[in-house]
């Protein structure tokens, strides 16, 4: 089913995020079926696209949620994900976040340092509960991806090394307030290479064996997220091969495999629709100025990430290279560089692909721009799932304090 972008623009204006819910469900089903025959739980990485209706679309499929703030935990619950399928990760959880997570009785808190383990213990003691925890282990494996989204090397801030992890498991085992039920690793995002995942899974599975030998019974083997997707011509890891290396690594261990895909489920189900405002040339350099900007989709500016951009209605005429840029006052405000486009008059629609993950969730109000409208496309119909932000929305938290 192809999406009628022209109709969407007519109804909802631009810039506009459109999410293909059926595509996202199919991605979920494909990954889930790759783990058939093994105990598995897919916990959707909410950070990739945290719209309540998007989460709910996965919740109805039986998905769990991987969350990195108490806000994300509350979104997941609100969208219908059962508490026992929610994991709370992140290097800097605060006292109040830990307290709330324990009160909400989620599956487990993923602990990322010794100091944090002691804090979780203290909070659990106060609440007179036993906190289910997993420990995020940094296996020191190079995922061979963009340095900003590489997380499994000792030079990255995430997790703890193996020796520290062992010490923390022993502390947790001895504590009456902690129940160490899981182990976690995540080596990076947009992974297109299977070997580092296999290597990390084996390192962590070995650790699980040595923990089981000292009576620490790990029940959840959380292999993180990171499965790459196609932005241009990347050669991808097949979900079945991905599942196989993890299943092989845990053979003989009685564990439930967890994986935390974000991008794999949401990226290519999302489109950012934008309208051409003007064209201009500075010397020989051509610019196509559109109404979406880096505040709507930050990935090109932040990571130099490539997103395919196309005219919704093809136009005749010679094509030449143009930088597709937004109205924000930054030279780094671009959505595409050297995009081949025919001469444009203004008013044409452009679609930016692969915008379903880390698109809207990384949007900001920079330059006092309201965030875009989000719509779902499902069963041939559009449905608003977040209205466009108004100027009133933007100043709401400030206006009371305006003096003079
Ligand atoms: N689990 C953990 C512990 C993570 O840190 C992440 C992503 C995921 C799962 C989901 O990863 P995914 O399956 O989506 O690759 N803003 C960047 C991506 C940052 C990813 C951070 N962690 C981007 O736009 O590429």
User: From the alpha carbon of 263, which atom of ligand 1 is closest?
Assistant: 14
> Residue 214: phi, psi to the nearest 5?
-105, 30
Phi-psi region of 204 (alpha: psi -120 to 50; beta: other; left: phi over 0): alpha
Whether 260 shows a pLDDT value over 90: the answer reads yes
Supply the Cα-derived Rg of the chain in whole angstroms.
23
pLDDT of 149 reads 67
What count of other Cβ atoms lies within 10 Å of the Cβ of residue 364? 11
* Domains held by the chain: number: 2
Task: Cite the active site residues.
Answer: 329
Whether 404 shows a pLDDT value over 90: the answer reads no
Average pLDDT, the chain: 96
Whether 256 shows a pLDDT value over 70: the answer reads yes
Domain end: 261, 291, 318, which one?
261
Q: What percent of the chain has pLDDT over 90?
A: 94
Residues whose beta carbon lies within 6 Å of some atom of ligand 1: 45, 48, 66, 89, 149, 151, 186, 189-190, 224-227, 260-264, 299, 357-358
The pLDDT tens digits of the residues spanning 314-324 come to 999 999 999 99
Based on the domain organization, do 110 and 181 belong to the same domain? yes
CA dist., res. 404 & res. 401, Å (int): 10
CA dist., res. 39 & res. 246, Å (int): 12
Residue in 226, 237, 299 to alter for ligand 1 test, most ligand atoms within 8 A of Cβ: 226
pLDDT of 142 reads 83
The two beta strands, 108-111 and 131-136, are: parallel
pLDDT of 1 reads 56
Domain hosting 54: range is 35-261
Contact, 121 vs 169, CB < 8 A? no
The residue among 69, 72, 40, 172 whose CA lies nearest residue 117 is 172
Based on the domain organization, do 12 and 105 belong to the same domain? no
Residue 345: inside a domain: yes
CA dist., res. 323 & res. 338, Å (int): 5
Residue 21: inside a domain: no
CA 67 to chain centre: 9
63 Cβ partners below 8 Å, 6+ apart?
Answer: 28, 42, 43, 44, 81, 85
What CATH number should be reported for the domain holding residue 327? 2.40.37.10
Whether 134 shows a pLDDT value over 80: the answer reads yes
Residue in 43, 45, 93 to alter for ligand 1 test, most ligand atoms within 8 A of Cβ: 45
User: From the alpha carbon of 302, which atom of ligand 1 is closest?
Assistant: 24
Based on the domain organization, do 253 and 201 belong to the same domain? yes
Lowest mean pLDDT among 100-104, 152-156, 245-249: 152-156
Based on the domain organization, do 201 and 117 belong to the same domain? yes
Domain end: 237, 261, 285, which one?
261
Full-model pTM: 0.97
Based on the domain organization, do 91 and 217 belong to the same domain? yes
Domain end: 199, 230, 261, which one?
261
Residue 121: inside a domain: yes
Based on the domain organization, do 77 and 203 belong to the same domain? yes
What count of other Cβ atoms lies within 10 Å of the Cβ of residue 175? 19
Based on the domain organization, do 326 and 354 belong to the same domain? yes
Span 200-212, average pLDDT: 97
Contact, 131 vs 121, CB < 8 A? yes
pLDDT of 53 reads 99
Residue 198: inside a domain: yes
Whether 334 shows a pLDDT value over 60: the answer reads yes
Span 200-205, average pLDDT: 97
Based on the domain organization, do 121 and 214 belong to the same domain? yes
Residue 24: inside a domain: no
Span 298-317, average pLDDT: 97
Name the band, by pLDDT with cuts 50, 70 and 90, for residue 33. Answer: very high
Lowest mean pLDDT among 147-161, 209-223, 257-271: 147-161
Whether 154 shows a pLDDT value over 90: the answer reads no
pLDDT of 144 reads 76
Q: Number of helices and strands (H, E) in the chain?
A: 12, 17
Based on the domain organization, do 256 and 320 belong to the same domain? no
CA distances for 48 relative to 149, 199, 248, 270, 333, angstroms: 13, 25, 28, 11, 21
pLDDT of 229 reads 98
Name the band, by pLDDT with cuts 50, 70 and 90, for residue 145. Answer: confident
CA dist., res. 393 & res. 398, Å (int): 10
Ligand 1 centroid to residue 186 C-alpha, Å? 9
pLDDT of 130 reads 98
């Amino acid at each position: 089913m192809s999406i009628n972008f022209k109709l969407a623009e007519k109804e909802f204006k631009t810039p506009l995020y459109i999410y293909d819910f059926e595509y996202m469900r199919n991605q979920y089903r494909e990954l889930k079926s790759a783990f058939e025959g093994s105990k598995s739980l897919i916990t959707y990485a909410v950070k990739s696209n945290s719209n309540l209706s998007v989460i709910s679309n996965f919740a109805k499929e039986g998905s769990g949620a991987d969350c990195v703030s108490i806000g994300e935990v509350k979104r997941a619950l609100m969208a219908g994900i059962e508490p026992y399928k929610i994991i709370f990760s992140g290097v800097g959880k605060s006292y109040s976040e830990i307290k709330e997570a324990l009160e909400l009785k989620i599956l487990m808190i993923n602990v990322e340092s010794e100091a944090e383990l002691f804090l979780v213990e203290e909070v659990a003691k106060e609440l007179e509960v036993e906190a289910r925890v997993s420990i995020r282990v940094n296996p020191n494996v190079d995922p061979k991806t963009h340095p900003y989204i590489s997380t499994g090397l000792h030079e990255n801030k995430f997790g703890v090394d193996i020796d520290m992890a062992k010490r923390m498991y022993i502390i947790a085992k001895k504590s009456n307030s902690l129940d160490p039920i899981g182990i976690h690793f995540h080596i990076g995002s947009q992974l297109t290479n299977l070997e580092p995942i296999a290597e990390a899974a084996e390192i962590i599975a070995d650790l699980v064996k040595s923990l089981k030998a000292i009576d620490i019974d790990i029940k959840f083997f959380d292999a993180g997220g990171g499965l790459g997707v196609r932005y241009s011509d990347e050669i991808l890891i097949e979900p079945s091969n991905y599942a196989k290396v993890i299943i092989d690594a845990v053979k003989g261990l009685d564990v439930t495999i967890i994986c935390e895909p974000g991008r794999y489920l949401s990226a290519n189900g999302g489109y950012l629709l934008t309208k051409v405002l003007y064209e201009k040339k500075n010397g020989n350099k051509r610019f196509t100025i559109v109404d979406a900007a880096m505040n709507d989709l930050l990935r090109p500016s932040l990571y130099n990430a490539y997103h395919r951009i196309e005219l919704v209605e093809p136009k005749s005429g010679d094509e030449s290279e143009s930088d597709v840029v937004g109205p924000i006052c930054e030279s780094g405000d671009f959505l595409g560089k050297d995009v081949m486009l025919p001469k444009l008059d203004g008013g044409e629609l452009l679609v930016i692909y692969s915008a379903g993950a880390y698109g809207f969730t990384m949007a900001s109000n920079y330059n006092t721009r309201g965030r875009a409208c989000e719509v779902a496309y499902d069963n041939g119909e559009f449905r608003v799932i977040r209205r466009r932000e108004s100027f009133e929305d933007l100043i709401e938290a400030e206006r009371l304090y305006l003096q003079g």
